[in-house]
Structure 1
Amino acid sequence: MGQYQFSKELKKETRWKRAELEPWVSTLVYTLIAAYFRLYRIGWSKSVVWDEAHFARFGSYYMNHTFYHDVHPPLGKMLIALSEWIAGFHDPEFAFKSGSKYPEEVDFVTMRVFNALFSIAVIPPAYWTARWLSYKPLTVHLITLMVALESSFITLGKFVLLDSILLFFTATTFMSLAKIMQLKRRNLEFSKEWYTWMVISGISIGCVCSVKWVGLFVTVLYGLFVIQDLAEKLFDKGISWRKYSKHWLVRIATLVFIPFVIYAVCFKIHFSILYKTGKGDSSASSLFQAQLEGTKISSSPRDVVFGSEVTIRSKGLSTKLLHSHTKKYPSGSLQKQVTTYGFFDANNNWIFKFARRDGRTLNNSTDHIPVRDGDAVRLVHKATGANLHSHEIPAHVSYQHYEVSCYGDDKIRDLKDDWIVEIVSQAFPKNQSYANEDRAVIHPLSTTFKLKHAVLGCYLASTGLQYPTWGARQGEVVCKFSGNPFDTSTHWNVENHKNNKLTIDEYYVPPASNFFEDFIRVNFAMAASNNALVPDSDKYDKLASKWWQWPTLYLGMRMSGFTDDKLRYFLIGNVFNTWGSSLAVVSFAFLTLYYIIRLQRQTLDCDYVTFWNYTTKGLYPFLGWLLHFLPFCLMGRVTYVHHYPPALFFALFVLGYMIELTVGSSRNATKHTGYAISFGLLLFTFWYFREFHQGMSGSKDSYKHLKLLPTWNF
């Protein structure tokens, strides 16, 4: 009897140990599978592939400390720079031109392996997310294997890109949400584990938003759960107001404060590393540029006088230079366009002259008169000789404001060429010898001023919007009525200043720029650049695609040259994963509609467990897919296949839920058959189309059998 009891206890202990080990063993196995296919022949292509031309080059800017501008936050690119540092990359001459061969001394394999580690690291969060959301064991394995064998994830994971880094932090954020859901269900809120995972959530949110702004979508998903959770607690009479307030404070501290700090710190590090002048200077304020080593802003006389030649930069959220050219508006006044322009150009140069009403002209007796607060001035465009002008004609983008143009010359006299200088503020350097500079005079770099139209009473302003193609998509300049002294769209400063009759002050060191002002302006410059990425109807972009073509697999994307002598990669989703998940999200939408109709008719019989499973296993993954997919359906910017993988990641969970809902509760034979078919289709489609992510070489005719749809252009 004692021996029997001992044997029973031993079996029980063995089962317990097996249950404890199983998730860790499964995680390891799936991670190794993912690692094999992501690292397999990772160095086969010895050329710069697709967007390695952008992101590997951005990484090299950190190695060279040169300032650059991009549409994405800096964390992902700083991680790429870390991979280049690990690889020992120190070649300032190599420009990472798309399709060019990597020099022998560039260890691009190490750089790619570093990136692949993020793609591999997506697997553990995928497994534990499915487990913590209480999917059935077979569904957990299916979801994890779908993520491990997803062709688009593998392809993107082989190269130096941001996509795998973004997907990793998206996965960790969703995993954190799943864990918080589980802890809520187990009534473990305010436990040590709960606090830990709230902090991890904040770190993940901060990181995902610091790689790409696409990270905001999973942040919104987390936010929807927080809103639902706090709303439930608000009506829970068992929770005191003190405890409810504590819930708010913890969420603000972990889900708002921590992400913001991480995001801001990434930019602080970004600014600190990039201390040399570079191609991105024009996206920053004048004071920021002046701090850069080798700055293009030259020393100049300290007083701007009538007759001085200047460039004028907006201090609004889109910090560009006042610009004009010979092109004319296609409607309205039909006069020369006035814009803001983000690059250094001769058409940015203006000359301060006396106002029309003044009557004075520039001569030896007037060429040393400073431009002071309250002075009436005329700004003459140096290249065209035309005057900065406004009139009661609606602007071309912001119709509520007046158009600003360049009009006439020195001979054509129009009082609407006149502007009144209004000095807003003066910034003084640490050098006390400049503390007594005349505060009523415009000084380059340090004076913020406004230009008020002498006749209309409106202010010269940069709206931050862009003209259409007829305006070369340059920034819109208007004359707007603004009584708000803090309206920075009407604020300007002189950047470069030339006057051969004045003495250049070589000793002036401008004051340091304010980090948070630079932080805000660079982010708005990123937004403006992002909005500028619109399709050009006059050009055919063979890589671009439409949103509906991703879940239908209507198109894939060539990631390299596709001649027979090239090694070729074709970015497209796994057929089972993509078509299956597309069917799943549509089916789930109809299922939700069916539940809503039954709820309205009061015929829905749903207990708490069923509702919880529907919400956590179905609704939140569906919302994750929708939040990552819908914006690309609505936005006007150019889109590509690589924009879909984050949405696909969530869609795979919806597919797992719909399979589980269909066969998970059936008899063993039906259930196992259903899962076997799912696993079989996944493995078959993965292996059949493996050359898409492993690489294709030789004649294209050898791969004709892979052309499942006639639109696949490989």
Structure 2
Amino acid sequence: MASPQNSVRQRPSAKDKKRATTPQPDGLTNGSASENIESLKQGAKEAVKNDSEYKLALGVITALAFLTRFWGISHPNQVVFDEVHFGKFASYYLQRTYFFDVHPPFGKLLFAFAGWLVGYNGEFLFENIGDSYITNKVPYVAYRSMPALMGSLTVSTVFWIMWESGYSLPACIVAASLMLFDNAHIGQTRLILLDATLVLFMATSILCYIRFYKLRHDPFSRKWWKWLLLTGISMSCVISTKYVGAFTFFSIGVPVMIDLWELLDVNRRRGALSLPDFGKHLTARIIGLIIVPFLMYLFWFQVHFAILNRSGPGDDFMTPEFQETLSDNLMTQQAVGIDYFDNIAMRHKETKVYLHSHPDKYPLRYDDGRVSSQGQQVTGYPHNDTNNLWQIIPSVAMEGYGHPVKNGDVVRFRHLVTDTWLLSHDVASPFYPTNQEFTTVPGEDAQGDRFNDTCFELRLENGKPDQQFKTMASHFKLIHFPTRVAMWTHTTPLPDWAYKQAEINGNKNIQQSSNVWFVEEIPGIPEDSPRLTKEEKKTKSMPFMKKYLELQRAMFYHNNALTSSHPYASFPLQWPFLLRGVSFWTENDTRQQIYFLGNPIGWWFASSILAVFAGILGADQLSLRRGVDALDQRTRSRLYDSTGFFFLLWAAHYIPFFIMGRQLFLHHYLPAHLASCLVAGAVVEFIFNIEPADISNLTITDGKTGSKQQRAARSRPIRERIAGQSLLPTWAAAGVIVSVLAWSFWFFAPLTYGKPGLSIDQVLARKWLNYDLHFAK
């Protein structure tokens, strides 16, 4: 939308009034044919000139974006920060080796595609930060070029968003420059990391939705469908890269719902829609913005499963049934059927501790004053030991040996070293008073009154009735038969009286996924035992949706479990003010370092503009309450609908982090920062692209009285946009902003590009907010 222009108004003659009543085609006046043709030609020339200026600016900004992202991309030629993860995942894809990660596969598949394009086989596994790419012959520049390309296109997309939203050229340049000269976006998009993919497709989602919304008066046309589907596809790529892409769905979903609500209004200006027509609009949006994105999201998981068909480090996160779909799986190759009276070592699936016992007793009283049973300690021990061996005994009499243990059997366990029997009872456990204590009792007690307390139901995960219990391949829950609690452990160690080993207790929530155990080995089986004879096993199949749902559960569980502290973790409140960054890489000999940090001036400017925008909205609402209409309708519409949409984007991509319990870093703010750049460009235009008009024209009323002409006067602006001269302040403001941004970017560039090395004084000069930079002394 172009800014409205003032024109010299004269009192119309009677002839002019008559002309004005005759409707004319768009762009024509009621003058002569030659006047109309000349008017159209002049308008076309102005439009072409205007588009040419925007295209030239877009070309220059795009070229600068490529320059800033690709310059010196080969440095350093070592593994940097989280390249140890995402480079490794690309290698696993190329080797077709199954791995586990908390993020969806799309962004990682792009890195694998880059490696495949240059013929790399994935031999290097990115084990340690600082490992040499040159020595290991890794095409790391090809890997890094993928996010650098996306980061460059993101800058262009930001400019395009502002252009399509109808903002002036200076406003477009300000918004794009905040991204162009931002050290954080540059640093994050020059390395093998996922954020460049996330931020680019977030930006394209916004652009495509704006293009779709501009076609709202031409529904169901080919272009309307194209931009609707492109919006959905872009959003799908966002959430297929990281689950925080759900914030983008929310950001676009809100205006879509508002639009649908307006379409439902029978009093809408363009005529009421019939319910069948409204149903078509609703169905189209459900298809384009929900169904198509979800199918694309599933597609990338299908590709993920199809490529990763070999056993790998991700096996342990999956169920035995899933692992049987992978070739070369050790679990299926080493599985041995378990018989009664076998000696077994049981291990917790998540913490990997062994079920363990030793002669020491629980203390009489715990630190909180509770009294224990003073029974023999049962703990979780991380190392293989003879005290980890338990003999599995049937709960009913059996003659001879060779009876297989099956799913659903009620069993008992005898601790071999101490000749005591595993037991749980209604006594509070040491660490969790709400859970039951696990202990052992002597044989005479286990065969007498306490027999039932030593009985446990063996429940195989996804097991079938009478399915045989096997080592490695059978994940199981051990349910105490009388009290129905599940044997469980956790990572918080017991005190010194238990040698800081893990607590074993009875969990009342038997459905909890962390109750799962497996048998690692059966020591002492004769080598000639037929049970050790391995048959060649074929990989099994598993329905896609079952694999997908299992992986989703594991991903969400482990993502929420990322709560441990990290030296460079930061809180959301620190991000808009850029209070600290992240050390990515250092080299002591050359004093070079890569420190992840945004452009401080750019971030502070964008953050302050967010506050200014909130103040403008508050002042406008307060003025309206007092009967003062300070803005014309077009300006207010732009302020609330367009800039307000950008502000919603920022809030939706920022505020949810306050309720997250997982580790958080500065890079989580990058999508919100992009939205703040859009707000900044829009507010700069609002502030500088207007001039005062005659204040005497302002009419103040109580909003209820007055003639039709007086009521219409309430919408008369105090300030109007004036073409030509009014852009001069905007250009001046844009010039100052871009110049300062460019200087700040250049000043912090050695920390972004990792070169050149800085002296102590140069490092200290860049510790603006006590950034924890290296080599400061």
CA contact (8 A) 1:87 1:108 kept: no
Aligned to 1:86: 117
Aligned to 2:229: 199
Deviation at 1:18, TM superposition (A): 3.1
Distance 1:488 1:554, change over 3 A: closer
CA contact (8 A) 2:183 2:745 kept: yes
Deviations 1:344-378 (A, max 9, x none): 988998857335x64x58xxx34322335664212
Q: Does 1:419 align with 2:456?
A: yes
Question: Distance in 1 between the 2:562 and 2:74 partners?
Answer: 31
Deviation at 1:117, TM superposition (A): 0.6
Which is further off, 663-672 or 305-314? Answer: 305-314
Q: Match for 2:738 among 657, 671, 679?
A: 679
Which is further off, 501-510 or 544-553? Answer: 501-510
Aligned to 1:279: 313
Distance 1:396 1:80, change over 3 A: farther
Q: Match for 1:163 among 195, 198, 216?
A: 195
Deviations 1:549-595 (A, max 9, x none): 32212212222115352432222111232001111222333444445
Q: Match for 1:652 among 663, 670, 677?
A: 677
Distance 1:385 1:677, change over 3 A: farther
Aligned to 2:658: 633
Q: Does 1:144 align with 2:203?
A: no
Structure 2 residue identity aligned to 1:145: S
Distance 1:521 1:243, change over 3 A: same
TM-score normalised by the chain length of structure 2:
0.76
CA contact (8 A) 1:57 1:96 kept: yes
Of the two, which has the highest radius of gyration? Answer: 2
Deviation at 1:37, TM superposition (A): 0.9
Aligned to 2:250: 220
Unaligned runs of 5+ residues in structure 2 are: 1-32, 692-725
Q: Does 1:296 align with 2:330?
A: yes
Aligned to 1:242: 276
Aligned to 2:578: 553
Question: Distance in 2 between the 1:529 and 1:239 partners?
Answer: 48
CA contact (8 A) 1:459 1:490 kept: no
Distance 1:133 1:85, change over 3 A: same
Aligned to 2:340: 306
Aligned to 1:512: 541
Distance 1:194 1:406, change over 3 A: farther
Cα RMSD, aligned residues only: 4.1
Distance 1:326 1:140, change over 3 A: farther
Question: Distance in 1 between the 2:430 and 2:55 partners?
Answer: 61
Question: Distance in 1 between the 2:253 and 2:183 partners?
Answer: 30
Distance 1:380 1:576, change over 3 A: farther
Q: After the TM superposition, which residues 5-404 of structure 1 pair with which residues of structure 2 at under 5 Å, given as runs?
A: 14-90=45-121, 92-93=123-124, 95-104=126-135, 105-184=137-216, 187-236=217-266, 238-299=272-333, 304-308=338-342, 324-325=355-356, 353-354=392-393, 358=396, 360=397, 365-372=399-406, 375-379=409-413, 389-392=423-426, 402-403=435-436
Q: Match for 2:554 among 525, 532, 556?
A: 525
Aligned to 1:711: 770
CA contact (8 A) 2:344 2:390 kept: yes
Structure 2 residue identity aligned to 1:50: F
CA contact (8 A) 2:70 2:148 kept: yes
Aligned to 2:25: none
CA contact (8 A) 1:311 1:348 kept: no
Question: Distance in 1 between the 2:762 and 2:278 partners?
Answer: 61
Question: Distance in 2 between the 1:466 and 1:641 partners?
Answer: 30
Deviations 1:587-606 (A, max 9, x none): 33344444555667776777
Aligned to 1:442: 468
Secondary structure of the residue that 2:554 maps to in structure 1?
helix
Distance 1:206 1:311, change over 3 A: farther
Question: Distance in 2 between the 1:348 and 1:227 partners?
Answer: 62
Distance 1:544 1:320, change over 3 A: closer
Q: Match for 1:455 among 447, 469, 482?
A: 482
Question: Distance in 1 between the 2:313 and 2:42 partners?
Answer: 68
Aligned to 1:584: 609
Question: Distance in 2 between the 1:385 and 1:132 partners?
Answer: 79
Distance 1:576 1:32, change over 3 A: same
| Percent identical residues | 24
Structure 2 residue identity aligned to 1:152: A
CA contact (8 A) 1:68 1:278 kept: yes
Distance 1:669 1:64, change over 3 A: closer
Distance 1:545 1:659, change over 3 A: same
Distance 1:616 1:489, change over 3 A: same
Deviation at 1:33, TM superposition (A): 0.8
Deviation at 1:451, TM superposition (A): 5.2
Aligned to 1:694: 753
Deviations 1:585-628 (A, max 9, x none): 22333444445556677767777644532333322222222222
Deviations 1:66-85 (A, max 9, x none): 11111211111111112222
Deviations 1:648-672 (A, max 9, x none): 1111112122222221223455444
Which is further off, 587-596 or 102-111? Answer: 587-596
CA contact (8 A) 1:324 1:336 kept: no
Distance 1:350 1:125, change over 3 A: farther
Question: Distance in 1 between the 2:36 and 2:224 partners?
Answer: 39
- Equivalences, count: 678
CA contact (8 A) 1:576 1:685 kept: yes
Question: Distance in 2 between the 1:470 and 1:594 partners?
Answer: 59
Question: Distance in 1 between the 2:336 and 2:405 partners?
Answer: 12
Question: Distance in 2 between the 1:167 and 1:175 partners?
Answer: 12
CA contact (8 A) 1:423 1:440 kept: no
Unaligned runs of 5+ residues in structure 1 are: 428-438
Distance 1:288 1:481, change over 3 A: closer
Question: Distance in 2 between the 1:375 and 1:126 partners?
Answer: 63
Deviations 1:105-149 (A, max 9, x none): 322222222221111111232122112222233211211222222
Structure 1 residue identity aligned to 2:552: N
Structure 2 residue identity aligned to 1:293: S
Question: Distance in 1 between the 2:341 and 2:156 partners?
Answer: 67
